[in-house]
Structure 1
Amino acid sequence: MVSLKSLFDLSGKKALVTGGSRGLGLQIAEALGEQGAELVLSSRKASDLEKAQAHLAGRGISAKWIAADNSRDDDISRLVDDALGKLGRIDILVNNAGATWGAPTEDHPIDAWDKVMTLNIRSLFLLSQQIGKRSMIPNRYGRIINLASIAGLLGSTSTTQTIAYNTSKGAVVNFTRALAGSWGRYGITVNALAPGMFPSKMTKGTIEQVGMEKLTAGVPLQRIGDEDDLKGAAVLFASEAGKHITGQILCVDGGLTAVLSSS
């Protein structure tokens, strides 16, 4: 029997976090690093990654970084090459990079639809496939954490006008389940976090437009997420504590989906 503390220990594990320079990706990187994982962060801009690296260093966490645009197939291949070069193997993959677009459904630009779909779901498949084939499957071990959203469980309303985003995150939900079923035999778990509203660059406009009072009105805990609320769930999915959990979607939303699903 192992201790509870050791079940959550990530010492010696190697993790790649996409979209890891800020927001939810950086929060998850903090959690994994605090538990001992060796980190590589990726996002499009080197300047953002340098700031994230300095932020983590201030918390006593060492991290390397790779600038890559996950909407480009060649950048994904380069990211895998470089990450494996820096880490040797990848035990934990956090698929967090994503985009959104707001527009009335009847006027939604097709290029914007393609942009959201490419980054939010196509890139997850390509990155997971390459890391699976080159590292996790040969090692018979892996933890894949996808960032879905409660938007992937709900419809797009006339207020949100995010049909592409909602559709893409719904795809992430079933991609998570399908990949879990496909790769369980290799000792790879695949789960998804489905956050509700969290402050980030992506949600800043919504928060300013709608207002905090309206955003929290129907939330049982009467708040939005903060800079720590994803950490525990991420470590659970990444660690031995979650070794018998796969194909699951965990909503971290203050109880909002529980209320909506019962109404």
Structure 2
Amino acid sequence: MKNLFDLTGRKALITGSAQGIGHLLAQGLAEHGAEIIINDITQERAEKAAGELVKQGFKASGIAFDVTNKTEVEKAVRQIEQEIGEIDILINNAGIQRRHPFLEFPEKEWDDVINVNQKAVFLMMQAVGKYMVKRQRGKIINIGSMQSELGRDTITPYAASKGAVKMLTRGGCVELARHNIQVNGIAPGYFITELTKPLVDNEEFTSWLCKRTPANRWGNPDELIGAAVYLSAPASDFVNGHLLFVDGGMLAAV
């Protein structure tokens, strides 16, 4: 029972983790014993982020690859498995946002959002999942969103992609649970980050958000760590196909 949240000896690959929430999750898992593999589109950023963890006494390495490119994904996963070790935990965190009115949304930007937020999750689950099936164990965590369930003005493609992440999570559970692989998701609500700073600074929006959220506030990014540790750890070994909303109760309210 003492080891329910112990990640010692586990290796976690987190996409898009050189900065932002991905890096925060890397820090949180490292503090619970995991060895971290940082992914970014550039090797310099990946190594720099991994180096920050190493300076704190954690085990970490960085590897650059494009999560939307099947060839690069498969090559990188094979390299990690052979040179770093078995991937025990995969967190599909990489994501982008684009904003336009729905009827004016550029096709190119639709493709970008779908490729990073949806296709990349599919490619990563396939590539890493094949190794997990061979070992008959593994944890896959997909980062969804409030928009996995709710629509919002100007971000319909983002909502579509995050709705797909929800169903990739459930479909992955149905096919992989028999191999002792847990596939779950985390759906953050509204958190204070560099990307949301303009909204945080907008008094009208913040007032609306606080009234709409039972917790009556924005979320702090480090409040996502507990969910990620739980879904990575033995504590969640019989939790599967679940989307854990970390949203201050927003989805529960009308």
TM-score range, shorter chain: over 0.9
Pick one of 154, 166, 180 that aligns with 2:173.
180
Flag structure 1 segments of 5+ consecutive residues without an equivalent. none
Pick one of 38, 42, 53 that aligns with 1:41.
38
Indicate yes or no: 2:200 matched with 1:207. yes
Q: CA deviation at 1:173?
A: 0.6
Q: CA deviation at 1:59?
A: 3.5
Question: In the alignment, which residue of structure 1 is the partner of 2:217?
Answer: 223
Indicate yes or no: 2:83 matched with 1:86. yes
Flag structure 2 segments of 5+ consecutive residues without an equivalent. none
C-alpha distance in 2 between matches for 1:253 and 1:27: 17
Q: CA deviation at 1:221?
A: 1.3
Indicate yes or no: 2:246 matched with 1:249. no
The count of corresponding residues between Structure 1 and Structure 2 is 253
Name the CA shift for 1:206/1:44 in 2 (closer, same or farther; >3 Å). farther
Question: In the alignment, which residue of structure 2 is the partner of 1:156?
Answer: 152
Pick one of 223, 226, 230 that aligns with 1:236.
230
Pick one of 171, 177, 190 that aligns with 2:183.
190
C-alpha distance in 2 between matches for 1:29 and 1:221: 26
C-alpha distance in 2 between matches for 1:47 and 1:39: 16
Indicate yes or no: 2:213 matched with 1:258. no
Q: CA deviation at 1:87?
A: 2.6
C-alpha distance in 1 between matches for 2:112 and 2:221: 27
Query: Which of 102-111 and 81-90 deviates more?
Result: 81-90
Q: CA deviation at 1:120?
A: 0.7
**SS at 1:7's partner residue?**
coil
**Percent identity, aligned pairs only?**
37
Aligned partner of 1:121: which letter?
A: Q
Indicate yes or no: 2:62 matched with 1:69. no
Pick one of 3, 7, 16 that aligns with 2:4.
7
**TM-score, normalising length: structure 2:** 0.93
Preserved contact between residue 23 and residue 199 of structure 1 (Cα < 8 Å): no
Pick one of 16, 19, 26 that aligns with 1:19.
16
CA RMSD, 1 decimal: 1.7
**SS at 2:24's partner residue?**
helix
Indicate yes or no: 2:96 matched with 1:102. no
Preserved contact between residue 99 and residue 202 of structure 1 (Cα < 8 Å): no
Preserved contact between residue 187 and residue 244 of structure 2 (Cα < 8 Å): yes
Preserved contact between residue 49 and residue 62 of structure 2 (Cα < 8 Å): no
**TM-score, normalising length: structure 1:** 0.90
C-alpha distance in 2 between matches for 1:153 and 1:208: 25
Preserved contact between residue 193 and residue 221 of structure 2 (Cα < 8 Å): no
